[in-house]
Amino acid sequence: MAQLNIDEFLARFRDRAQAVKERGIPPLEGEARRVWIESAEHDYMDYSLVGRAQWSVEDDALVLRIPLKG
């Protein structure tokens, strides 16, 4: 079984956020375009929030602290 490296885990989220930010918009029109853009915005926010997290292990649980400012 693979070991979980938390720093690499968080780096993957930062990489995913950057990839979402850099990817282009496919040739969609109307409602499909709006839905795609909204989904990309949510993906970027989710990935970037987790990617910025500070982590610790407390009582055998991984705790991610996500800064809400900055």
pLDDT tens digit string along 5-60? 999 999 999 999 999 999 999 999 999 999 999 999 999 999 999 999 999 999 99
Q: Burial-class residue 69 by CB neighbours within 10 Å (0-12, 13-18, 19+).
A: exposed
Q: 21 phi and psi, to 5 degrees?
A: -65, -35
This prediction has a pTM of 0.81
Q: Per this entry, what is the length of the chain?
A: 70
